[in-house]
Amino acid sequence: MATSASTLGIDEHVPDATLENQKATSTAQVETNYLDVIPFPNIQPLRAAQMVASLDSKSALYGKWKIQLSGRAVRDFRQLGDRKVQKIISNKLVQLSHGHFSPDNQKRLTRREVSSNDQVPIYEAKASRDLRVVYEIALREDVDLKKDFQYIRVWGIATHAQLDDRLWSSLNKESLRRTPEYLRRIKIRSAPPKHGKEVRDVFDPAHFEHQDFDRLDMLDEDNPVRLLTDEEQLELHELISLEKWVTLSKSLLSSIAMNEDNAAHIFDVSPKEQEVIDCPSSLFLLGRSGTGKTTCMLFRLIGLECAVRQEQVDDATEVGTTSTSRTKLRQLFVTKSRVLTARVREYYQKFDATLRAGSLSPEEIKERTKRSKERKANRLVDLEDEEETGNNLPSKFGELKEEHFPLFVSFDQLCKLLEEELLFVGGPDTANVLGGEGVRTTATTESGTQFIDAEIFQSQYWPHFNRLLTKGLDAYLVFSQFGVIRGVERDLTKEEYLKVSERSHSTYREARPQIYELFLAYTRKKGECRQLDAADRARRLLRYTATLPRDLQFDFIYVDEAQDNNMADCILIRSLGRNANGFFFAGDTAQTISSSTFTFAELKASFYRAEKNEKLVNIGARKPVNPKFYNLNVNYRSHDGIVRCASSIVDLIHKYFPSSIDKLAPEKGIVLGPKPTMFAGWRSDENMEFDQFLFSHGTHAIEFGASQCIIVRTEEARDRLREKIQDAGLILTIYESKGLEFSDVLLLNFFEDSPETEGQWRLVLNGIQGKKAPKFNNSKHAAIQQELKSLYVACTRARRNVWIFDIGTKSQPMAEFLYHHGLVKLCSPNDPIPTMAQASSKEEWFEQGQNLYDQGIHKHAAFCFGKAGALWEQQFCLAYVDMKQADRIPLGEVVKRKQAYLTAAEKFVACAEEDGASKELRWTAYRKAAKCFSFVGDGRRAGLAYSSGQEFDKAVKAFLSAEAIDDIMPILSSHSAFLARGTKEDARQMGRLFYLKVGRVEAATPLFDDPDDQISFLKHWGYLSNDILQRLGRHDQIAITLEQRGDYLAAARELQRMQSEQEAEQSVQLFIKALWQSCFTDVDFSTVVGEAADTAARLSANRRDEVMVDVDFFKDAHDRAKTISFLESSLVPAPSNSAKDWFRLKCWLKTWEIPRSGNTTNAFSTMLTSVEKFCTICRRFSASNVDLDNRQLQLLLGFHRSVDHTFSVARASFHVNATSPLKLMLEEDSFKQHLSSGTFASNFGWEISSIDLRLSIRTFFARQTLDELIAFSSVVQSASFLRAPCHTFFVNGIC
């Protein structure tokens, strides 16, 4: 109990019962918090039928009989074209759904070549005079009820003349593999319950207790099924195995009405697949190629989406409740392949759109049809670009919103989002998330970062290692062992690596010491080159995801082709999930033709270990989730002839290399088919016989069709063969073919070009009892593992035929092994060569070219487009080939690499400028050219190309990198809506600084929101000057600056140049300020008064009259006659007008002179009176209670109230002539010592307290009095008839 308490952070001295209660409370609280962040925690995916039912729930159109249409039937339905005819077929299907099996609706189609009791009947229903619906009655399992129900499967819709008895007869023969009980059940007809009048020929679907009805294996050569020709078997394969069965629904009929060729419908899946989809916990799904793994993933994802929508609808319609407030599910689909990612995303979008089609209005249907046609116009959508733009992804992981889900991304794109988020969260200290300053990867592209992989290791690292260490080892297998050493969180020590279980990792077990030495050499070189591998990235990101907030994690995660990831990648993906039951990993370790040590058994064990370390598990909030294992072993792509052969190859891999592959149930096909053909006994020196095989006659090679492919081992072999056969067919390497499928595959010289010897290949002869064969040796035969996996991948590319041709004898061991087990047919030079030629139309070649382009195999896409006569697409793909070749040039060969990219860019531009291509295709070409220009650092050309390709956000970024700011301006002006917020702000900020730096301030004006924004920016960066403001026409801002500096006259004249009445009034006020201080300056008084009067004339009458009162005062202040009249008045100056009176007297005293002639006595008398009144006013302002809010006094002395009891005094020493009479005194050192700490100089003035201001005013006026008395004394002393008074007595009253 002590340990438990300590773990929970509880006082160990608490009684046990209390402890348990606290633990339960803590557990409940954590569990509640856990469920709070998982919306819809108990949601289960809707099944296909439920998805359709949820959309057709309001329709009473269909009866009790469920109807499924084959893909062929849907195509037939759509191709009818005529809406009236389609309506006839719809009505017939509705009749059948209600069980109307009249003679016209259930006529037996096939001839009775075998006993009718042994075959599944094929029926035709007469829809019109000439149209027939071809169908059968089948059984389907209801998993919940554990019952089998009858339902209708529609095989096709055809005219009477199109009915092919031979095909349906073949289908009948295939049905002989059905059990007698199955045949009995489908032939039962169940009459409906009687309610009133009996209706003839109407039946309900019968139901039975569930029973498994697997097809019977019929290997006897004389069995009727085996008597079908190869062509008949292949036709059945296409009809049965390759077709998808779609439930009749409103959404299906709507998509047919819209004539959407690319519509995708939710189709029926097998009970085993449905079990996988319904699995309530995390799971691992293993299945060989073509067994439906991706389908299970996608249908589970779609089913959950539909379930959430349905639950929200139910909540919203339930009485007394509102729509759920829980958020949308955060579902993630991730895989290594960009191509697979794009395809699955596209399938989801099609499925989702089709499911919603049944609820669309006619207008919405028209709009959908229009968009469908627009999508077809852009046939060469680049999947790398599509991944970035198709999801409208943000730049950082934390910015993912509900509209981004479900999220479909490649693993590299997911890491890119995480890296950007880590950079954002970590700041400068994590500026290089991938490894610190100076670390680089092998190549950096806009779409992501390419790390050291097996191919780069083989080409750039392997040749530099000590040959004594590499002797006898395969580079790819060694690199796979590095994956074992690297682990997840740290590298294994040599001792730990040597102790790794041989059972789980048997490859090169004797060579582990030298492999570890190679690993050390690899690590040193990696460090010297400052490069990274995938493990480096995963470890760094794992440190970040360990602290990832739960609300940013995913509810359900789907990882397809999981075998392409290393274990660290899988653990990284797991760290992104917040739902222990939300993980779905699928893959096939038999398809790992690159280096990998991945197995699902290891992954499962790793997951369970991680689960037991989860906090919620440790505190008992939930039990650890042990993911379930599922195995799909029915191959829907290839028929049983190919599948059995491929399955035997997998058995060999598992027999000799059990740790490299997961053991699964034997794979099987649905329909029997022709065995692969091996051409044995053809020798390398028999050129004539080889030409006989390859060429039909003369020098013309066999014309392979668009759906056929020749597969070779290496690029060199491919190029040699291309030179020989020219354009006779499509040639791919095994690596290039991975992920593709063809009708027919010719595997050419696989064994002859193998680096392994015939002696090594003889290992497979151990599979023939009594045959002499070498004993398995782990070191000697290690490379056979990859050879067998490559052979498996090559064979499983075919749907119909596999031909294996090899010259020489190296293929003989495998031929003997396969033939012994009845898995291949042998064809010697003397046997007739099977027909391989298959003509294809230009449309078919174009479709194959499109497919290969989507797969990123551009060289071969160009070949197909050339065969189709699509010259623009061909040239575009060839330009793409040049770009990819440039990618492969070592980073050190800078000049060569740059020239290669420029060559590719020019080709893309040439394509973009060629007439005849659609605008969408031209945009694509421009975007590719832009990437090439970016790779060589030509930001401006990249920006121009991006702009032409309508990628405005990338264009701006490219222009910014080249400081091509002028090119950004049109985009900001016309296309700013297409820019990300961050991009737009970067462009505005850098553009502003750029134009300031080069002195083009006016050019930066459009980069500001408004003039005030521009002024603030200029001021912040220290660029604001009167010269710039003059060029910008900002006289108001110049006036503000001049006013702050105390130059009121210059400020007034700036505002005078502006047109509005508001600025005119402000100008007059500034003129008045200048006039108030004119007695301290040498201003041309009359000129200023005139300017003020002229400006005031622009004001409205009321405002003009108000301001002219002040202007008139200044005009009168310089009128001598009025001043003399004022002096002669016996009135004492009023306090409110003291400042004006002081100003008038100051102006008078400044201009007074001793008369040269005339009545000098009166003149002196007037002078004496003016000095007396001047001193009286000065004494009044020197009083301690002077009114500091006196507006006239503020204008006279140049101060104004700022905050509370602090006043601001303009400072005249700031670049312009001062006008404040207080400033010189405030700057005197002798005066400063009397000021308090609350008074200090500031920008454009002083901050001064009220006490200090009163002291300053008192001192100022005392000095003014003294100055005038001294001046008056000088005048008196210069007059001989007068005696000067005592200055001291006059001022102080005491001598």
Q: Examine the pLDDT at 1111 and tell me if it is beyond 80.
A: yes
| Distance from chain centroid for Cα 944 | 23
| Distance from chain centroid for Cα 607 | 28
For the chain, the first-to-last Cα distance in angstroms comes to 104
What single DSSP character describes residue 1233?
T
Phi, psi of 701 (to 5 degrees): -75, 165
pTM higher than 0.85: no
Mean per-residue pLDDT, 707-731: 85
Q: Where are the alpha helices (DSSP H) in 913-951?
A: 919-935, 939-948
Long-range contacts of 989-996 (CB under 8 A, 24+ apart): 990/960, 990/963, 990/965, 991/965, 992/1017, 993/1021, 994/963, 994/965, 995/965, 996/1021, 996/1023
What pLDDT shows up at residue 615?
A: 81
- Please, which pLDDT band fits residue 322 given cuts at 50, 70 and 90? very low
Gap between the Cα atoms of 1024 and 1013, Å rounded? 12
pLDDT tens digits for range 1011-1054? 777 777 777 777 666 666 766 667 777 787 777 777 888 888 88
Q: Examine the pLDDT at 244 and tell me if it is beyond 80.
A: yes
Task: Copy the structure tokens of residue 138.
Answer: 């089948």
What pLDDT shows up at residue 351?
A: 81
What pLDDT shows up at residue 1280?
A: 54
Q: Compare 366 and 896 and report the one with higher pLDDT.
A: 896
Radius of gyration of the chain (CA): 46
Question: What single letter denotes the amino acid at residue 958?
Answer: A
Question: What single letter denotes the amino acid at residue 524?
Answer: R
Most confident range (mean pLDDT) of 107-111, 808-812, 1119-1123 is 808-812
Q: Examine the pLDDT at 115 and tell me if it is beyond 50.
A: no
Gap between the Cα atoms of 770 and 763, Å rounded? 13
For residue 421, CA distances in Å to 389, 450, 490, 506, 534 come to 19, 19, 23, 40, 18
Most confident range (mean pLDDT) of 227-236, 256-265, 905-914, 1141-1150 is 905-914
712, β-bridge pairs: 733
What pLDDT shows up at residue 697?
A: 46
Q: Are 1175 and 1267 a contacting pair, CB within 8 Å?
A: no
Task: Copy the structure tokens of residue 1125.
Answer: 């009249």
Q: Examine the pLDDT at 906 and tell me if it is beyond 90.
A: yes
| Distance from chain centroid for Cα 429 | 25
For residue 917, CA distances in Å to 195, 372, 742, 847 come to 66, 19, 29, 17
Question: What single letter denotes the amino acid at residue 185?
Answer: R
Strands, E assignment, 181-232: 207-209
What single DSSP character describes residue 223?
S
The four Cα atoms 852, 854, 856, 858 give a dihedral, to 10 degrees, of 50
What pLDDT shows up at residue 930?
A: 92
Most confident range (mean pLDDT) of 234-238, 361-365, 487-491, 517-521 is 517-521
Gap between the Cα atoms of 532 and 434, Å rounded? 8
- Residue 1174 CB neighbour total at 10 angstroms: 24
Instruction: Sort 644 into a burial class: Cβ within 10 Å, 0-12 / 13-18 / 19+.
Output: buried
Phi, psi of 405 (to 5 degrees): -110, 150
Helix (H) or strand (E) holding 1207: strand 1206-1209
Using DSSP's 3-state secondary structure scheme, residue 1097 falls into coil
For residue 482, CA distances in Å to 507, 779, 1041, 1128, 1254 come to 12, 17, 70, 112, 86
Cα–Cα nearest to 675, from 570, 551, 822, 544? 822
Q: At what angle do helices 640-656 and 812-820 cross, to 10 degrees?
A: 110
Gap between the Cα atoms of 1051 and 1071, Å rounded? 8
Q: Are 958 and 940 a contacting pair, CB within 8 Å?
A: yes
What single DSSP character describes residue 410?
E
pLDDT tens digits for range 1167-1203? 788 888 888 888 888 876 778 888 888 888 888 777 5
For the ranges 233-242, 394-403, 805-814, 970-979, which has the lowest average pLDDT? 233-242
Cα–Cα nearest to 46, from 55, 37, 38? 55
Kindly report whether the peptide bond that precedes residue 406 is cis, defined as omega within 30 degrees of 0.
yes
| Average pLDDT of the residues of the chain | 77
Mean per-residue pLDDT, 736-760: 87
Mean per-residue pLDDT, 1001-1009: 78
Q: Compare 1117 and 1176 and report the one with higher pLDDT.
A: 1176
Cα–Cα nearest to 127, from 100, 150, 154, 157? 157
Gap between the Cα atoms of 207 and 820, Å rounded? 45
